[in-house]
Every structure is written in C-alpha cells, then in structure tokens.
Amino acid sequence: MTTLDNATIIFDRRINSYINLAAICVLVYDHILTLQAEVAYVWTSGYTRTSAWYLPVRYFPLFTSVVMLPMYDFGDFDSKFLIMAQVLFVECTLILRVICMYFFDKRIVLFLATISIIEFSVAALSVIPVGPIPVYSTSLPGCHIPTPHGPAMRLAGAWEGLLVVDVMLLGLTLHRGYIRSREAEVSLWHVIVRDGKS
C-alpha cells in the first residue's frame, strides 16, 4: 500500500471543493430562476400547511449547503447530522406524495409509517458513535477524516436502508401510475411526468 503525498491530497481536496461549489451554484441558480413564481404562488398565498412544509424543504438544503462549504476549509467538520436532516425532509416529502397518490389508504399509510420508522431508526443509530473511534487525521485543514471500518459499515447500512425505502416508494409510484394510465388510456410516462415523479 502506498501513501499519498500532501500535494496529491491537497489537489484532490481542491477538486472536491470545486465540485461542492458547482453544486451549490446550480442550487442557487435554481432558486433564482423560480423565485418570482415562488413569491407569487407560495409566499403571497398566506400560511397553509403546504407552504409550511414547502419552505423548509426548499430552503433547508440551500442553508446547510452554504453553511457547510466554508466550514470544510476551517477544519474537520462532521456534516452527518445536517445530511441526515436533509434526507429526512426529502424522504418525508416523497412519502407524503405517495400517500396522496393512494388517497390516504390506511394500509399504505401504515406500511409507509412502519418502514419509515425502521429506516430512520437505523439511520439515527448509524450516526451515533459506539465506543471510541480511532482518528486517522491527514493533518491538513479542511480534509475529511477517513472513516474506520466499523462506523463505515454502519453508515453504509443506513444508506442501503434508504435505498430500500426509495425503491419501495418508486415501486408504489409506478404501480399507481400504471393503474392510472390504464384508466385514462394514456402512457405510463405521461402519468409519471404529470404527477411530478420523473
């Protein structure tokens, strides 16, 4: 096994920072493009349950991404909890959309609530440290700390659980879209795009 020299590590870290910055620029650009319509349809329509959910889902990722970017350059920053909060917002939104597609069918609500509780419990347990974690520091400011095998496996388990939940949500969405497409005699693709699940 060879070790990387500091120049390679710094170069790789710089590329990673550029990619993060590009992603944030696209996110900000998207917010700017839709700001006028958002003000007209969300902000001026008054307080509703939809706007109460929409605004945090819309702006929490922007806020955390902007906050996390400079923190990487001021030392080692653990962003697991911010990432978990973003994932929680997105998953709740997807689950709410599927529940609405099935017209609040109690079986679907119970099924989705059960798998969500299990998945979020696994995710929460994966970010809580168990015992002392060895630190492998690169001694360079802003570099990510390599993750030891045990915590990496727990974190991978959480992401795999999330993948299972997302595949189930996609399956439920496709099933409902297929039924709707047969009822309306339109293509499945048209129904999925119309329902915003493209």
d(CA 147, CA 150): 8
Q: Distances from the Cα of 161 to the Cαs of 16, 101, 115, 119, 164, in angstroms?
A: 26, 23, 9, 6, 5
Same domain, residue pair 162 and 180: yes
Same domain, residue pair 90 and 67: no
More confident residue, 115 or 183: 115
Number of domains in the chain: 2
| Domain-terminating residue out of 74, 102, 133 | 74
d(CA 78, CA 65): 13
Per-residue b/e over 83-104, b at no fewer than 16 CB within 10 Å? eeebbeeebeebbeebbebbee
Same domain, residue pair 143 and 55: no
Same domain, residue pair 43 and 92: no
Tens of pLDDT, residues 100-151? 888 889 999 999 999 989 988 888 777 776 666 655 555 555 555 566 777 7
Of 100, 120, 118, residue with least CA distance to 109:
100
Same domain, residue pair 94 and 68: no
Q: Are 91 and 162 in contact, with CB atoms under 8 Å apart? A: yes
Same domain, residue pair 103 and 197: yes
Which pTM value belongs to this model? 0.69
Same domain, residue pair 65 and 100: no
d(CA 100, CA 83): 26
Same domain, residue pair 122 and 38: no
Name the residue range of residue 53's domain.
1-74
Same domain, residue pair 92 and 170: yes
Q: What is the pLDDT of residue 166?
A: 93
Same domain, residue pair 28 and 110: no
Tens of pLDDT, residues 66-107? 877 777 666 555 666 777 777 888 888 889 888 888 888 999
